[in-house]
Structure 1
Amino acid sequence: MDEAFMVPAAHRRVWDFSREGVLRSVEDSLTRMGTDRIDVLLLHDAEDRFGTAPR
């Protein structure tokens, strides 16, 4: 599945659906977007990782 998206060589893809991983991803996204809030957060592509995804 990793071939489905272009990932710059300077980055490493990590699938972390733990609570801490999701919060870190949200904080990183907020920084990239230059905002401090979002209206809705959807967790996607977690089909094989429901055991670690937050509930």
Structure 2
Amino acid sequence: MCVDCGYVFTKQSNKSLPVCPMSNLSSDVIPHVRNGWISLSGQGDAPEDPYPDEK
């Protein structure tokens, strides 16, 4: 999920992510200043791939 606008992007691997496609629109009403993603799932989905310890 884009940290600026909430756009949800689905991809098999999150090691390399593109720029949010919503930031390239000429009608961009939500400025994209942080330009990052939040992983909603992935690591931790399988018992053999658990979440790392939270600190």
TM-score normalised by length of structure 2: 0.29
| More helix per residue | 1
TM-score normalised by length of structure 1: 0.29
